[in-house]
Chain A
Amino acid sequence: NAGVMQNPRHLVRRRGQEARLRCSPMKGHSHVYWYRQLPEEGLKFMVYLQKENIIDESGMPKERFSAEFPKEGPSILRIQQVVRGDSAAYFCASSSGRGQRSYNEQFFGPGTRLTVL
């Protein structure tokens, strides 16, 4: 059973370009979370999605950032017109969401390291 897949693992973009980060959750998982981590810092929640729905995007900047989790295919985190401050590791995690009070263990992907030149 494959774990959470993220690609690309490393992404280099120049200022002003677009960055597209992909996340395939574990098989059977319908809940996806995106986090940003700056070097030597903690995990900052960005967005929580279920299939075709954004449940909580309170951690995502209002401009330039968007996320989706379509019925078919991976979840996508898109950053438009990237700036140097967007350089970070972006982690995706998935959970089954079953038995809400007793589960919600999050399985993390290996992350995408974004570098903006």
Chain B
Amino acid sequence: GQQVMQIPQYQHVQEGEDFTTYCNSSTTLSNIQWYKQRPGGHPVFLIQLVKSGEVKKQKRLTFQFGEAKKNSSLHITATQTTDVGTYFCAGLNSGGYQKVTFGTGTKLQVIP
């Protein structure tokens, strides 16, 4: 079945440093979504990418969808303590109904 892996699993950064998490799918995706889960909270939708090579920005966050639609990345510029949490990508497949497969997640810790 479809697998979606993320690296790294954990990342500690000093406040102000940049952070990137990478998402790789075993199959070609229709869309990719990104979610953020704060400690003790629930996942919250951040963005969806649809087109091959698409790049979207939300303030300090930059999301990219690979040309082959099998990988994606999330880059945070100048991290802040409010960025702490686990970031999940979620891949939507191309066939049948759009099943969502969540990635393994990257847990970000920001040191003040």
Contacts and interface: CB of A to CB of B under 8 A. Distances in A.
Interface residues of A, number: 25
B42 A45 contact: no
Contacts of A40: 107
B102 A35 contact: yes
A56 B102 contact: no
Nearest to B99: A56
B42 A110 contact: yes
Given A100-B98, A101-B30, A105-B45, A42 B104 contact: yes
Contacts of A55: 97
Interface residues of B, number: 25
Contact of A42 (B30, B41, B44, B88): B88
B96 to A, nearest CB: 9
A108 B42 contact: yes
A44 to B, nearest CB: 8
Contact of A33 (B35, B42, B100, B105): B100
Contacts of A44: 102
Interface of B: 1, 30-31, 33, 35, 41-45, 48, 50, 88, 90, 92, 97-105, 107
Closest 3 CB pairs between A and B? A108-B42, A43-B102, A42-B105
Interface of A: 33, 35, 40-45, 48, 55-56, 58, 91, 93, 100-102, 104-111
Given A43-B88, A44-B102, 12 more contacts: A40-B107, A48-B97, A58-B1, A101-B31, A101-B98, A104-B92, A105-B45, A106-B35, A106-B43, A106-B45, A106-B90, A108-B43
